[in-house]
Amino acid sequence: MNEAVFLEFYARTAGPLFGYLVRLTGSRPLAEDLVQDAYLRLLSSRHLPLNQDHLRNYLFRIATNLARDHFRRADVEQRVGSLAGPSRVEAARSPYAGDVWSVLSRLKPRDRELLLLAYVEGLSHREIAEVTGLMRASVRPLLYRSRRRFAAMLRAAGLVPQGSETTV
């Protein structure tokens, strides 16, 4: 990939990727690090997709996997820390405390990934499967369950209007 093509691709994808990672991780500094790592890994890859949409999905997949790795490390550190005493690892807090974003930040990472990719990034089920590594047929039921869990959490937090008992 030459410099001009990369700069145009970066200009188109950096903002959406950063926004996705901030919402996924709940941390701007962590999202900044993951964005840098994702582009570095993209540029280090030997076989890049030629199609710009596939390249974008590949970038999001790299970033999603980096975030998953971070969550796994944090979970292991938290479990090890709890054996030795008080936890040294605190979950990243969303800057949007008390609203829908804070509820979203309390979902499991996979649920957040699916909801953000579908409803914030507007990806199709096929594209979500490419980004997450899931089978295409699995995306729809997993997304449905994620939506149900999110709706239940919104109701529990009192963020669903009275009389509105439909699923989110």
Compute the distance between CA of residue 21 and CA of residue 31 in angstroms, rounded to an integer. 5
User: What's the whole-model pTM score?
Assistant: 0.70
Q: What is the structure's pLDDT at 84?
A: 41
Q: What is the structure's pLDDT at 163?
A: 62
Please say which residue of 65, 92, 119 terminates a domain: 92
Local mean pLDDT, 10-residue blocks, the chain (168 residues): 91 95 92 96 88 92 93 68 40 50 86 92 92 93 95 85 58
Q: What is the structure's pLDDT at 81?
A: 52
- By three-state DSSP, how is residue 48 classified? coil
Compute the distance between CA of residue 119 and CA of residue 15 in angstroms, rounded to an integer. 16
117 near 131, Cβ under 8 Å?
A: yes
Residues 147 and 70 in one domain: no
Number of structural domains found in the chain: 2
Number of neighbouring beta carbons within 10 Å of residue 60: 25
Q: What is the structure's pLDDT at 150?
A: 93
Please say which residue of 48, 63, 92 terminates a domain: 92
Instruction: Record the tokens describing residue 11, joined without a space.
Output: 């200009």
Residues 110 and 83 in one domain: no
Residues 28 and 76 in one domain: yes
Residues 82 and 135 in one domain: no
Residues 33 and 63 in one domain: yes
Distance of CA 60 to the CA centre of its chain: 9
Residue span of the structural domain in which 133 resides: 95-168
Residues 85 and 106 in one domain: no
Q: What is the structure's pLDDT at 159?
A: 79
